[in-house]
Amino acid sequence: MPDLSFPVSLVNGMTVVTTPDEIDISNASLLRAALATATRSAPEIVVVDMSGTEYCDSTGLNVLVRAQKKAEPAGVQLRLVVQANAVQRMLTVTGVAGLFRVYASLDEATRPD
């Protein structure tokens, strides 16, 4: 069973949601809740640190896409940190990679533009 924790923290003044090794139907609602918490105060940038995530199913992808669609009109930029080839491929194959700013490391994602 996947890890069910999605901690929300501050890194370099940016809100960061850290995801576990797997995101699927069993914990996608927790990701939704963590993203809602992270975006509640309308920060400029929310980083979803998926650097430790090796698997994300369509349920998790749906949560990310919906969060992006809510964040953008509110002026919140959603950034993803993706290292696993399987997760990067999922974003590319489904055609949603262009919706997000994707970074290779948390350090890169939390640098100011």
State pLDDT tens for residues 23-59.
999 999 999 999 999 988 888 999 999 999 999 999 9
User: Over the chain, what is the mean pLDDT?
Assistant: 93
Q: Is residue 91 left, alpha or beta, with left meaning phi > 0 and alpha meaning psi from -120 to 50?
A: alpha
Note the Cα 81 to chain centre separation in Å. 7
- CATH number of the domain that 25 lies in? 3.30.750.24
In this predicted structure, what is the pLDDT of residue 4? 58
In a domain, 1, yes or no: no
* Residue span of the structural domain in which 19 resides: 8-103
3-state helix, strand, coil in the chain (%, to 5): 40, 25, 35
In a domain, 111, yes or no: no
In a domain, 110, yes or no: no
Residue 80 has pLDDT above 60, yes or no: yes
